[in-house]
C-alpha cells in the first residue's frame, strides 16, 4: 500500500505520543511511511514507542511534560488510566 494504515488505540491512553482520539504520533505512520513496512515492523515500532516515548514530538503535551519533569506523577496517571480501563471492561462484560 502507498498509504500508511490507520492505527488507533480504542482504550483511553495517557502517553506523550498518543492523541486524545487514540491515534499515534509515529513517523512511520505519517511522513516516513514506506510500503516495505509489514504488520510486524509497525507493531514493533509501536511497542518501542510505548516503552520509550518521544517527548520531543508530543501528541499529548501534558503527558510529555510530566514524562520529562515528574516521572512519578506521569506513571501514576498511566496506572490510573489502565486501572480505569480494567474496571470498565470488567463491568461491561
Catalytic residues: 25
- Answer for the pair 24, 42: CB distance below 8 angstroms, yes or no: no
CA gap 78, 28 in Å, rounded: 24
CA gap 3, 34 in Å, rounded: 8
Helix/strand number for the chain, H first, E second: 3, 0
Which residues pair with residue 24 across a beta bridge?
18
Amino acid at each position: 500500500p502507498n498509504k500508511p494504515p490507520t492505527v488507533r488505540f480504542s482504550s483511553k491512553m495517557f502517553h506523550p505520543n498518543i492523541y486524545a482520539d487514540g491515534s499515534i504520533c509515529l513517523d512511520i505512520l505519517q511522513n516516513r511511511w514506506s510500503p516495505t513496512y509489514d504488520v510486524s515492523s509497525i507493531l514493533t515500532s509501536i511497542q518501542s514507542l510505548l516503552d520509550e516515548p518521544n517527548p520531543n514530538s508530543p501528541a499529548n503535551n501534558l503527558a510529555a511534560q510530566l514524562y520529562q519533569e515528574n516521572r512519578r506523577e506521569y506513571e501514576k496517571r498511566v496506572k490510573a488510566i489502565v486501572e480505569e480501563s480494567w474496571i470498565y471492561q470488567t463491568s461491561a462484560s
